Chain A
Amino acid sequence: MVDAVKMEKVIFEHSVSGRRATVQAPAVAADFSDLPSALLREDKPLLPETSELQVVRHYTRLSQKNFSIDTQFYPLGSCTMKYNPRACNTLAMLPNFLARHPLAPASHSQGFLACMHDLQEILQEVTGMKGVSLTPMAGAQGEFAGVAMIMAYHRQRGDMERNEIIVPDAAHGTNPATAVMCGCVVKEIPTGPDGDVDVEALKAVVGPNTAGIMLTNPSTVGVFERKIEEISKIVHEAGGLLYYDGANLNAILGKVRPGDMGFDVIHMNLHKTFSTPHGGGGPGSGAVGVSERLVPFMPMPHVLKEGDRYRYVTEADVPDSIGRLSGWAGNAGVNLRAYIYARLLGRDGMHRVAEFAALNANYLQARLSAAGFDLAYPDRRASHEFIVTLKRQAKDIGLTATDIAKRLLDKCFHAPTIYFPLLLTSCLLIETTENEAKEDLDAFVEAMIEILREAEADIEMIKGAPYTQPVRRLDDVKAARELDVVWPN
């Protein structure tokens, strides 16, 4: 790392009172003398006073402190760090798309609305659902829409008691958090030793209060839920509905459709399976698909096609909708990127996604296993991801998942997921995606083998990693205890 990048200060340290980038702002000085002075601001807000070059250089340097898909192999489990095609960004940022106000009349928005409509249809087809709404702004909001639809369905049938949502212990944290936001009670069920849901435990919790179950398939431990049809039957017979957490859709795209597995509602993370960027934390898009019985409840607005004209639905079209989840129509620009990606892939490309994601994952799993790493589920196929457990190394030489994660950074690989799933301790959840070439997977295996050797020779050295990054391991306890979250003004 170049020192200038490593040492880059906080933007406020570049600030000099009175300096400014003049051409970006109006030429006329500010004047609010016609507004009541009691309502005006007296202090100067803490915004940098810098030149354009200083700003450009500062944020360019900050960018260089990041790992990213464009610069490193990023095998982050459950996150589907695929290549974000540049064409998707370039075309979604065409001036007319950017300049469209969300309330521009449909008569002047046919191009944009056509894209959204086509995307709805494509997503409907690949998931086997009967309706799609693109408005949820990320996976968790898609989950919210899904559970809210499930509740609205029960309530409309006069089924007032159903308020329990069943969630496997392997589920992502957003699942139980969402159920609670929807006013439900969470019933957790365990995962069996083979990674599948414990069906007996499921039978024991279903009943007249069951509103539904939230399932991820392949689950978050990286294996396909083989008893899905039995689970579907048990829950449906108890009067509950099935929710599909589509965060792992990349594993089955073009192979199996959630609709065919019996799911009533699904959210997709378009920022995973459809290659829209993660942007250092977002934005995403959590489009939802529904079965026939939930179509009337879909969140507003979605696009209708009437003859050859497109328009958004209004409240009058969908009186039973759970309503709006955002000011307008969700993350439209993200959906546009997903649409462009879908058109580049096309039908054949869709079929290839899961095939090559799974080929890469199973190849990497086989190689790491042969290299002496223990698999959490050695008898199972990997889906698009898999788990390496470090229980043995932790016990023998004190090598933890965090240690490997940090040392991998020194070897120019982003770390796999280590904080999740919570039910397994000291594990690496590794997801490769279909975009990675064999030689990059091989290089990753070599790095893992090297780290194991290094750890056996000198565990203290590993505990000190990383050494090559802008900072070394950070003091999280201090960060939480002595809260420093804003620069002093």
Chain B
Amino acid sequence: MPFIPHTETEIRSMLDTIGVNELEAIFDEIPDDLRCGQLEGVPEGLTEYEVTRLLHQRAAEDQALSCFAGAGAYDHHIPAAVWEITTRGEFYSAYTPYQAEASQGTLQLIYEYQSMMASLTGMDISNASLYDGASALAEAVLMAVRANRKSKSRKLLVAGTVNPTYRKVTNVIVHNQNISLDEVPFDNASGTTVTAALEAHAGEDYAALVIQQPNFFGSLEAVDEMTDWAHANGMLVVAVANPMTLAALKAPGQWGEKGADIACGEGQPLGVPMSSGGPYYGFMCCKQPLARQMPGRIVGRTVDLDGNPGFALTLQAREQHIRRSKATSNICTNQGLCVTASTIYMSLLGPEGLARVASASHKNMNALLAAIKDIDGVSVAHAGPSFHEALITLSKPAAVVIEQMANLGFLAGVSVSEDYPQYENALLVCTTETKNDADIAAYATALNTVLNGEAA
């Protein structure tokens, strides 16, 4: 019996202690007509060796592609030590650190994580994680509505350059509470938000403005002006950020005169594998005055009975297990293990290492654009700098190009024309530090072949 240690003798003696004759008797409170049958739909059990063989076969079917796609999931190098330590049983198989004295490892690690994230984002406080980047934006929207007491509209302004999937997910999560998002159009030529589009909403009642930096297209927004504009119009500012880029870019907490109020985003770039989209984690940081509106767990440093420093979950009166229907969120289980990986990742990289990752990712994008811009049938959609993603338009439908590039061993990018019909055959491409000149040259050759036939 898999994972069940009992011998026949033990079963007998345990049943005697309980005072019943057979195992079935333990279930005598369950009405007979509810008892289920054989579960024919479940296959017979396999041995570990057989499962290993099956999973190796399945994995082999999914040949790894040379990845030039991003759009929220990024192919960065993860140092060997990261998951070696993360999957130690003491981290991997521990529960939420409710019993603080027996969970100091996890608690201290989260405190260190909070410190690193708050610093990267330029904020005062970080929570211990939310589910993922998309749902973190939904939580940030709910938080902004709670926190901006002057605003009565239950509406937010969202730049059209914020990841469209994040906007969809946010809408699914917040619309039942009659909260809605109004989109700010962007300039098609630059791929960024222009102040005139914001001015159209001057004086209107919105709880917050949501800005993504670098934005979905990889372009850089004028975050200082946008932040000041929002604050001048009584809105909070929610920043959606890629934490890897914050080694280079101005921290949201420093945007404009007063800084963004809430920063959130996807933690995956910091040491979490792409793994088909999860598990990742959403991060969220905010300025001090908003601390009590924050969803999710928070770890604080305190002292024990002997006055020695120690760590414990704190501000729990915000959470569902205490406040129930009045909690700031329903979240309970979060993405702790991925935070463990990220904390180790950030410690290994340090400020210089992370800046190098950001720089190499960015330079590779410059190199990629230089290598493909003159290919027949390729145009770079936006003028102005790209961080490590960029939008290109193609002479063939993106879906076809992606399929043919995959047959040549490349994940060419992400098709985005469905969300942005103003761009025909649009492909969002991405580079990280894992690409070298040869990879980029090979990609350019393959793309030329796909677009222009064999005569490349």
The residues of A that contact B297 with a CB separation of less than 8 Å are 281
Interface residues of A in 199-245 (CB under 8 A from B): 223-224, 226, 228-229
User: Could you tell me if A473 and B305 are in contact, using CB atoms closer than 8 angstroms?
Assistant: yes
Chain A min CB distance to B364 (Å): 10
A403 within 8 A of B: no
Q: Which residue of A lies closest to B255 (CB)?
A: A39
User: Could you tell me if A76 and B95 are in contact, using CB atoms closer than 8 angstroms?
Assistant: yes
User: Could you tell me if B291 and A282 are in contact, using CB atoms closer than 8 angstroms?
Assistant: no
User: Could you tell me if B323 and A65 are in contact, using CB atoms closer than 8 angstroms?
Assistant: no
* Cβ contact of A138, chosen from B10, B165, B246, B331, cutoff 8 A: B331
Among the 9-residue stretches B16-24, B230-238, B447-455, the one with 4 or more Cβ atoms under 8 Å from chain A is: B16-24
User: Could you tell me if A363 and B356 are in contact, using CB atoms closer than 8 angstroms?
Assistant: no
Prevailing SS type, chain A contact patch: loop
Q: Report the bound CA distance from A30 to B292 in whole Å.
A: 38
User: Could you tell me if A280 and B34 are in contact, using CB atoms closer than 8 angstroms?
Assistant: no
B443 within 8 A of A: no
Other than the given A39-B220, A325-B135, A332-B275, 17 more pairs (CB < 8 A) read A30-B359, A46-B119, A63-B91, A71-B89, A101-B75, A151-B176, A176-B324, A179-B325, A277-B93, A280-B96, A280-B337, A282-B336, A331-B278, A333-B275, A352-B1, A474-B304, A482-B302
B203 within 8 A of A: no
A to B CB contacts below 8 Å, 11 in the list: A24-B79, A31-B359, A34-B385, A93-B83, A97-B275, A104-B276, A327-B277, A356-B6, A414-B99, A485-B301, A486-B125
User: Could you tell me if A223 and B29 are in contact, using CB atoms closer than 8 angstroms?
Assistant: yes
Number of interface residues of B (CB under 8 A): 201
Q: Mask for A265-299, Cβ within 8 A of B = 1, else 0?
A: 00001010001011111111000000000000000
Chain B min CB distance to A475 (Å): 5
The residues of B that contact A333 with a CB separation of less than 8 Å are 273, 275-276, 278-279
Among the 9-residue stretches A110-118, A391-399, A451-459, the one with 4 or more Cβ atoms under 8 Å from chain B is: A110-118
Q: Report the bound CA distance from A85 to B319 in whole Å.
A: 31
User: Could you tell me if A110 and B61 are in contact, using CB atoms closer than 8 angstroms?
Assistant: yes
Q: Which residue of A lies closest to B387 (CB)?
A: A35
The residues of A that contact B89 with a CB separation of less than 8 Å are 68-71
User: Could you tell me if A438 and B14 are in contact, using CB atoms closer than 8 angstroms?
Assistant: yes
User: Could you tell me if A284 and B333 are in contact, using CB atoms closer than 8 angstroms?
Assistant: yes
B184 within 8 A of A: no
User: Could you tell me if B301 and A479 are in contact, using CB atoms closer than 8 angstroms?
Assistant: yes
The residues of B that contact A186 with a CB separation of less than 8 Å are 324-325
Q: A122-B41, A126-B39, A283-B335 are in contact. Are A82 and B359 (CB under 8 A)?
A: no
User: Could you tell me if A62 and B108 are in contact, using CB atoms closer than 8 angstroms?
Assistant: yes
Most buried by A among B105, B178, B353: B105
Q: A65-B105, A487-B115 are in contact. Are A283 and B51 (CB under 8 A)?
A: no
User: Could you tell me if A32 and B362 are in contact, using CB atoms closer than 8 angstroms?
Assistant: yes
A389 within 8 A of B: no
Q: Which residue of A lies closest to B330 (CB)?
A: A177
B367 within 8 A of A: no
Chain B min CB distance to A86 (Å): 9
User: Could you tell me if B274 and A101 are in contact, using CB atoms closer than 8 angstroms?
Assistant: yes
Q: Report the bound CA distance from A327 to B34 in whole Å.
A: 38
The residues of B that contact A82 with a CB separation of less than 8 Å are 3
B340 within 8 A of A: yes
User: Could you tell me if B304 and A471 are in contact, using CB atoms closer than 8 angstroms?
Assistant: yes
User: Could you tell me if B112 and A12 are in contact, using CB atoms closer than 8 angstroms?
Assistant: yes
Interface residues of B in 238-275 (CB under 8 A from A): 246-251, 266, 273-275
Chain A min CB distance to B154 (Å): 11
B439 within 8 A of A: no
B100 within 8 A of A: yes
Most buried by B among A107, A114, A184, A381: A381
Q: A111-B57, A174-B332 are in contact. Are A65 and B108 (CB under 8 A)?
A: yes
Number of interface residues of A (CB under 8 A): 200
Q: A89-B92, A138-B331, A279-B92 are in contact. Are A112 and B62 (CB under 8 A)?
A: yes
Q: Which residue of A lies closest to B48 (CB)?
A: A87
The residues of B that contact A74 with a CB separation of less than 8 Å are 95
* Cβ contact of B103, chosen from A67, A107, A148, A482, cutoff 8 A: A67
Most buried by A among B30, B43, B248, B414: B30
Q: A99-B67, A151-B176, A181-B173 are in contact. Are A283 and B357 (CB under 8 A)?
A: no
* Cβ contact of B51, chosen from A91, A93, A277, A480, cutoff 8 A: A91
* Cβ contact of B356, chosen from A29, A63, A87, A325, cutoff 8 A: A29
A3 within 8 A of B: no
Q: Report the bound CA distance from A221 to B383 in whole Å.
A: 62
Task: Give 6 nearest A-B pairs by CB, closest first.
Answer: A346-B45, A328-B277, A70-B89, A279-B337, A281-B336, A102-B277
Q: Report the bound CA distance from A264 to B172 in whole Å.
A: 21
The residues of B that contact A415 with a CB separation of less than 8 Å are 99, 102
B402 within 8 A of A: yes
User: Could you tell me if A30 and B333 are in contact, using CB atoms closer than 8 angstroms?
Assistant: no
User: Could you tell me if A137 and B131 are in contact, using CB atoms closer than 8 angstroms?
Assistant: yes
Chain B min CB distance to A106 (Å): 10
* Cβ contact of B249, chosen from A40, A48, A97, cutoff 8 A: A40
Q: Report the bound CA distance from A367 to B16 in whole Å.
A: 11
B393 within 8 A of A: no
Q: Report the bound CA distance from A151 to B173 in whole Å.
A: 13
B134 within 8 A of A: yes
User: Could you tell me if A282 and B347 are in contact, using CB atoms closer than 8 angstroms?
Assistant: no
B166 within 8 A of A: yes
User: Could you tell me if A334 and B353 are in contact, using CB atoms closer than 8 angstroms?
Assistant: no
Chain A min CB distance to B172 (Å): 4
The residues of B that contact A58 with a CB separation of less than 8 Å are 347
A319 within 8 A of B: no
